[in-house]
């Protein structure tokens, strides 16, 4: 499937005078796309626009063939959308199950029997079966995070917009989540923002890097990693030319930046590549500001 | 965890949405939330204890109608205001999620208004209890020149509308106002503020020293007067306020309920024209009922 399901063209969004997003052009297809970027890069702003929670100020947005700028377009998108916001509160008085059941009604699952079956399915999917009868207020942070994920999976939506879904999850839960998202990505368009480069490396074929409201990189994960080839090396100490350096478990120091001629080069990973990309962009911006 | 379940398809794709079925399913869920709300459960228990106690205490006499309806209006109407307000505002913390679901806020408002029927049903049950106990155990009615306490001399066509207007309709109107206030003033303190305004605005015109036109112009019009024996300080009779026809008074308060629903729905832009028409029609009907009740 190579059909474009989500298209942003020159999209901008400002809060007051500050541009949270500027001239973002992006086309997504079914499959999992990772969204990386430092804090304040505009990831949440972009995801909220795709999830119809926020309207773009400039540019055109097309989601699943509909225009979220119109009321009918928004409803059409919402019928096929699963959304995990970066943060959300919970209404009082619900159990985990009844909360999902209530949201399923708001997703137009009016028949009680099929709805309950669907809620049980997503509860099982995120491994919350044991705590389903518990009050939401009695759940742990990670359990609540998975509850929000479960509601996004109701009805197997065609578009999943996930804003840092893995925060607060332990490694086993993250592994399970990858499994669930991997399956969803076989047919749906999944856009997932995260600070965890390992999640992107493990899950995504494609990655978009945002910084300062602009797209710094959009392409295959392997292409981004390849950009860092020859720029990561091991040494006994931190090298002055390194942009980033840290002592690893072996006691040696991993240096990321422009290596000296005799450097002991190693294979880069996605995190190295991401750090270099964002670091180089900041460097270039600094040069521009000086000149 | 079973792999089978993960592989399983959704039991059904979200079928072509049927707006009415969705509304009914949602209203059922909201009604369940209403029934389980502590501010409804607790008043229910209190009312139950009080009506039973009042029957027992009055030596086989039925529940005092003034006391009974006031209890309904307070415990189901005023408390219901808070219940509905809280249920309506409960999604505030979840709005980032709730805001992007296909069922919009206006449908949710209508569903909450329907859930307020739970309160009306509780009020109806209480009035039913009052009628039954009065029929089986008529009050002993002290000798008096006035009609006996349980409206002995009034026809049912007068007694029933008055009891319904002051009981179940008050139990419905309170929560409906709670929905309105929560929708138009979506912050936490607006509930308590609303309750204070509601009680004060109801109490001021209710005093029996006022003219019938002012007494009717209240969220809870008091349509009856009690007469107390000056020696024993016991209620010896209940009469209707002269100059108010209870049937039309019932129409008046029902129109007010309808206007509350329209006001709550008008918070959202959809269906604005029909809602404004309905609002205009209800305003006219309310004015007509008010005038006819006083005629
Ligand atoms: N509601 C808001 N009001 C004002 N500024 C905002 C608001 N939301 C986000 N911003 C600003 O927009 C920029 C992008 O934010 P955000 O999209 O949340 O970034 P990210 O999710 O990548 O951390 C930041 O500079 C942030 O301060
Ligand atoms: Mg964010």
Per residue in B51-99, pLDDT (tens digit) is 888 777 765 556 778 888 999 999 999 999 999 999 999 999 999 999 9
Closest residue of B to A49, CA-based? B100
Which residues in chain A touch residue B101, judged by CB atoms under 8 angstroms apart?
A: 78, 103, 106-107
Among residues A200, A220, A240, which one ends one of the domains?
A220
How many domains is chain B built from?
1
Q: Check pLDDT > 60 for residue B224.
A: yes
Residues 6+ apart with CB under 8 A from B259: B279, B282, B283, B286
**What range defines the domain where residue B94 resides?**
14-294
Bridge partners of A95, per DSSP, are A135
Same domain, A136 and A255: no
Among residues A201, A220, A239, which one ends one of the domains?
A220
Question: B62 by DSSP, 3-state: which?
Answer: coil
In angstroms, what separates the C-alpha of B62 from chain A's closest C-alpha?
Answer: 38
Closest residue of B to A98, CA-based? B29
What whole-number distance in Å separates Cα of residue B231 and Cα of residue A232? 102
pLDDT, tens digit, 9 for 90 and up, residues B104-138:
999 999 999 999 999 999 999 999 988 888 777 66
Same domain, A148 and A169: no
Q: pTM for this one?
A: 0.90
Which residues in chain B touch residue A83, judged by CB atoms under 8 angstroms apart?
A: 97, 100
pLDDT at residue B213 in the model: 82
Q: Which of A62, A38, A36 is nearest to A49 (CA)?
A: A62
pLDDT at residue B211 in the model: 77
Q: For chain A, list residues with pLDDT below 70.
A: 1-2, 290-291
**What range defines the domain where residue A263 resides?**
225-290
Which residues in chain A touch residue B91, judged by CB atoms under 8 angstroms apart?
A: 91
**Is B5 within the bounds of a domain?**
no
**Is A101 within the bounds of a domain?**
yes
User: What percent of chain B is modeled with pLDDT above 90?
Assistant: 59
Which 56-75 residues of chain A touch chain B by CB within 8 A? 71, 75
Q: Look at A1 and B24; give whichever has higher pLDDT.
A: B24
pLDDT at residue B3 in the model: 39
pLDDT at residue B220 in the model: 87
Same domain, A70 and A165: yes
Which 155-214 residues of chain A touch chain B by CB within 8 A? 155-156, 176, 179-180, 183
Q: Does B5 touch chain A (CB under 8 A)?
A: yes
**Is B28 within the bounds of a domain?**
yes
In angstroms, what separates the C-alpha of A190 from chain B's closest C-alpha?
Answer: 17
**Is B102 within the bounds of a domain?**
yes
Closest partner CB to A105 (pick from B8, B22, B91): B22
DSSP state of B77: I
Rounded to the nearest integer, the mean pLDDT of chain B is 86
> Is the Cβ–Cβ distance between A193 and A21 less than 8 Å?
no
Across B184-209, average pLDDT: 85
Q: Look at B268 and B235; give whichever has higher pLDDT.
A: B268
What whole-number distance in Å separates Cα of residue A108 and Cα of residue A117? 14
pLDDT at residue B17 in the model: 64
pLDDT at residue B44 in the model: 96
**Is A87 within the bounds of a domain?**
no
pLDDT, tens digit, 9 for 90 and up, residues B199-218:
888 887 776 677 778 888 88
Closest residue of A to B27, CA-based? A105
pLDDT, tens digit, 9 for 90 and up, residues B32-57:
999 999 999 999 999 999 888 877 77
In angstroms, what separates the C-alpha of B276 from chain A's closest C-alpha?
Answer: 21
Same domain, A121 and A263: no
Same domain, A71 and A177: yes
Please indicate whether, in this complex, the C-beta atoms of B11 and A107 are within 8 angstroms of each other.
Answer: no
How many domains is chain A built from?
3
Question: How crowded is the C-beta side of A181, counted as CA atoms within 13 Å?
Answer: 32
ipTM of the complex: 0.88
pLDDT at residue B143 in the model: 40
Q: How far away, in angstroms, is A212 Cα from ligand 1 center? A: 10
**Is B24 within the bounds of a domain?**
yes
């Amino acid at each position: 499937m190579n059909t474009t399901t989500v298209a942003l063209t020159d999209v901008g969004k400002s809060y007051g005078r500050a541009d949270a997003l500027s001239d973002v052009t992006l086309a997504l297809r079914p499959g999992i796309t990772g969204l990386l970027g430092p804090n304040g890069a505009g990831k949440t702003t972009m995801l909220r626009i795709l999830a119809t929670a926020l309207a773009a100020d400039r540019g055109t947005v097309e989601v699943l063939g509909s225009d979220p700028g119109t009321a009918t377009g928004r409803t059409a998108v919402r019928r096929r959308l699963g959304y995990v916001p970066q943060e959300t509160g919970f209404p009082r008085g619900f159990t985990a199950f009844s909360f999902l059941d209530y949201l399923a009604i708001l997703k137009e699952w009016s028949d009680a029997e099929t709805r309950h079956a669907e809620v049980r399915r997503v509860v099982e999917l995120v491994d919350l079966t044991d705590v389903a009868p518990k009050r939401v207020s009695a759940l742990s942070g990670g359990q609540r995070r998975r509850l929000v994920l479960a509601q996004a999976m109701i009805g197997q939506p065609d578009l999943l917009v996930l804003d840092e879904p893995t925060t607060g999850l332990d490694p086993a839960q993250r592994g399970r989540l990858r499994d669930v998202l991997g399956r969803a990505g076989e047919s749906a368009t999944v856009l997932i923002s995260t600070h965890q480069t390992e999640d992107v490396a493990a899950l995504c074929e494609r990655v978009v890097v945002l910084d300062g409201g602009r797209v710094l990189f959009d392409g295959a994960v392997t292409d981004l990693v390849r950009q860092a080839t020859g720029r990561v090396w091991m040494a006994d100490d931190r090298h002055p030319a390194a942009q980033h350096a840290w002592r690893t478990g072996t006691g040696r120091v991993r240096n990321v930046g422009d290596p000296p001629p005799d450097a002991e080069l190693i294979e880069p990973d996605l995190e190295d590549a991401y750090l270099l990309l964002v670091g180089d962009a900041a460097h270039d911006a600094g040069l521009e500001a000086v000149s | 965890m079973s792999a089978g379940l993960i592989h399983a398809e959704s039991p059904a794709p979200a079928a072509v949405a049927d707006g009415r079925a969705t509304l009914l399913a949602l209203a059922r869920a909201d009604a369940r939330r209403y029934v389980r709300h502590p501010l409804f459960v607790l008043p229910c228990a209190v009312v139950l204890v009080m009506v039973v106690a009042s029957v027992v205490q009055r030596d086989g006499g039925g529940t005092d109608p003034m006391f009974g309806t006031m209890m309904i209006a307070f415990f189901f109407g005023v408390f219901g205001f808070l219940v509905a307000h809280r249920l309506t505002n409960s999604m505030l913390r979840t709005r980032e999620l709730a805001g992007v679901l296909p069922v919009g806020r206006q449908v949710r408002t209508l569903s909450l208004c329907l859930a307020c029927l739970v309160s009306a049903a509780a009020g109806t049950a209480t009035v039913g209890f009052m009628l039954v106990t009065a029929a089986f155990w008529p009050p002993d009615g002290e000798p008096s020149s006035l009609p006996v306490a349980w409206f002995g001399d009034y026809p049912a066509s007068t007694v029933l509308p008055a009891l319904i207007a002051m009981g179940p309709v008050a139990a419905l109107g309170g929560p409906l106002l709670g929905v309105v206030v929560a929708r138009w003033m979506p912050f936490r303190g607006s509930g308590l503020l609303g309750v204070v305004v509601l009680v004060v605005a109801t109490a001021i015109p209710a005093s029996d020293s006022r003219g019938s036109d002012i007494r009717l112009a209240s969220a809870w019009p008091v349509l009856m007067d009690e007469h107390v024996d000056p020696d024993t300080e016991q209620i010896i009779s209940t009469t209707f306020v002269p100059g108010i026809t209870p049937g039309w008074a019932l129409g008046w308060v029902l129109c007010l309920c309808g206007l509350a629903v329209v006001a709550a729905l008008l918070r959202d832009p959809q269906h604005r024209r029909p809602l404004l028409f309905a609002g205009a029609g209800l305003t006219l009907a309310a004015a007509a009922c008010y005038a006819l009740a006083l005629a």
